[in-house]
Amino acid sequence: MNKPKVDSERLWAGLMEMGRIGATPGGGSGRIALTDLDREGRDLFVGWCREAGCAVRIDRMGNIFARRAGTDEARSPVMTGSHLDTQPLGGKFDGVYGVLAGLEVVRALNDAAIETEAPIDVVVWTDEEGVRFQSSMIASGIFAGLYDLDHGLSSADSNGKTMGQELERIGYAGTEPVGGYRVDSYFEAHIEQGPLLESEGKSVGVVLGAQGKRCYRVTVEGEEGHAGTLPMDQRRDALLGAARMIDAVNRVAFSHQPRPVITVGAIRARPNSPNTIAGSTEFTVDSRHPDGDLLAAIGDDLRRVFAEVADEAGLGVGIEQTTHRPTVTFDPSCITAIREAADALGIPHRDIYSAAGHDACNISHCAPTGMIFVPCEKGISHNEKENAKPEDLAAGCAVLIQAILERAN
Ligand SMILES: [Zn+2]
């Protein structure tokens, strides 16, 4: 068999050309979902796919599927892709890389005249970022059967425009049903959006899954009092109690290995007056870890240490879980295909967990799924300064081709 060869310059040129649509002064891109700029980006991609011989389908959520035919059309497609929408001041690589890496797979297979048994679909998922309609990854979620179509189409922006209306307006309200058919497998290439690969000099991350998240709202109850008259040993200071609890949160994080990330990002004291002892204080805890059991254990730890602090200080404490996003584990055979491809190509790699959510996390609920990470400069993402090296992008794409060939033949 011929060897497919990634054209690194072609891949880079595509990224730069897409990046010019909605270019921002700081060198990034702003293509918010279902705007005119989003349409321009979609049109550019669809044009490239047609030139590469793909048949393009669009479903009712505006997800785009560009198909490179297989020799056995009865087989379920191997899918790859990501998203073209960005943050308002986003970069040129988040999402776009995964889409254009998929296109490069098609082009490289065309160049080498390689046929596959299963068809290959390069996918653009609508509105991954969730900037405008307030719900990220909704279209891939509907495809995976996690939400219903009406929920997606009726989601409205701050001006009351719904996704359904805006899809019509930009010409991407397709007729295909959203999902509901068998997908052989799904691979998504993406920049890491974190610093691990770059700091270790690895070109590829073999993504094992995505970390889960549990968030809490903690309410500490004490008693208000005069800052000048109430002696220190008679106070029930809710803000002081919250401060001790926040310190304990940090210690809980450091007590686990591998270490979770736990953040107290918001706090509100009542009455929030400089000369009144706080009668109550509310703060948030955001905890994330790839191991769901450990994440649950961290919740137990927090409850225990909060109760200890409250007890000691004569305070009341209430803990309410506000978010639970379960951990995602990718498919072992897809993970192996990616790791073996990197080995066979001699590309330095490491196993890694995704710290952020991706469309692949949704698709893992309806198809065997794997993700390939490539390093980005200093781990910076959701930022105009987002950057990546052409050789790393090409390495990730080479791994993607091999993993897809493994599944499609
Ligand atoms: Zn992304």
Give the angle subtended at the CA of 207 by the CAs of 205 and 208, to the nearest 5°. 140
Please say whether the beta carbons of 105 and 397 come within 8 A.
Answer: yes
Task: Establish if 3 belongs to a structural domain.
Answer: no
Task: Establish if 13 belongs to a structural domain.
Answer: yes
CA distance 134 to 137: 10
Task: Establish if 2 belongs to a structural domain.
Answer: no
Asked if 161 and 306 sit in the same domain, the reply is: no
CA distance 68 to 247: 55
Ligand 1 geometric centre to CA of 361 (Å): 11
Whole-model pTM: value is 0.86
Structure tokens at 95: 């999402």
Ligand 1 geometric centre to CA of 275 (Å): 47
Ligand 1 geometric centre to CA of 60 (Å): 21
Ligand 1 geometric centre to CA of 93 (Å): 8
Ligand 1 geometric centre to CA of 57 (Å): 22
Give which of 282, 210, 272, 201 is closest to 246, Cα–Cα.
282
The predicted structure's pLDDT at residue 1: 64
The predicted structure's pLDDT at residue 397: 98
Task: Establish if 49 belongs to a structural domain.
Answer: yes
Domain count across the chain: 2
Asked if 183 and 228 sit in the same domain, the reply is: no
- Residues lower than pLDDT 70 in the chain: 1
Asked if 310 and 274 sit in the same domain, the reply is: yes
Ligand 1 geometric centre to CA of 358 (Å): 6
Task: Establish if 312 belongs to a structural domain.
Answer: yes
Please say whether the beta carbons of 333 and 340 come within 8 A.
Answer: no
Domain end, chosen from 290, 325, 360, is at 325
The predicted structure's pLDDT at residue 134: 77
Asked if 151 and 91 sit in the same domain, the reply is: yes
Ligand 1 geometric centre to CA of 86 (Å): 8
Q: Where residue 245 sits, what CATH number does that domain have?
A: 3.30.70.360
Ligand 1 geometric centre to CA of 3 (Å): 29
CA distance 7 to 97: 14
List Cα–Cα distances, 200 to 140, 194, 245, in angstroms: 32, 12, 35
Q: Which residues surround ligand 1, an ion (CB under 5 A)?
A: 94-95
Domain end, chosen from 295, 325, 355, is at 325
Give which of 118, 86, 289, 131 is closest to 187, Cα–Cα.
118
Ligand 1 geometric centre to CA of 82 (Å): 7
List Cα–Cα distances, 27 to 20, 45, 82, 92, 395, in angstroms: 9, 21, 21, 8, 24
* β 276-277/225-226 pair status: antiparallel
Asked if 87 and 108 sit in the same domain, the reply is: yes
Domain end, chosen from 325, 354, 377, is at 325
Q: Is 311 helix (H, G, I), strand (E, B) or coil?
A: helix
Asked if 308 and 331 sit in the same domain, the reply is: no
Ligand 1 geometric centre to CA of 254 (Å): 29
Asked if 313 and 351 sit in the same domain, the reply is: no
Asked if 87 and 131 sit in the same domain, the reply is: yes
Whose tokens are 């060869």? That residue is 5
Asked if 288 and 336 sit in the same domain, the reply is: no
Task: Establish if 223 belongs to a structural domain.
Answer: yes
Ligand 1 geometric centre to CA of 292 (Å): 23
Asked if 258 and 337 sit in the same domain, the reply is: no
Ligand 1 geometric centre to CA of 188 (Å): 10
Positive or negative, the CA dihedral 63, 363, 331, 191 is positive
Ligand 1 geometric centre to CA of 336 (Å): 23
List Cα–Cα distances, 359 to 80, 87, 126, 127, in angstroms: 11, 15, 10, 10
CA distance 155 to 162: 5
Ligand 1 geometric centre to CA of 296 (Å): 27
CA distance 328 to 361: 6
Domain that holds residue 288: 212-325
Q: Is 300 helix (H, G, I), strand (E, B) or coil?
A: helix
Q: Where residue 170 sits, what CATH number does that domain have?
A: 3.40.630.10
Task: Establish if 1 belongs to a structural domain.
Answer: no
Asked if 216 and 203 sit in the same domain, the reply is: no
Ligand 1 geometric centre to CA of 323 (Å): 21
Asked if 257 and 295 sit in the same domain, the reply is: yes
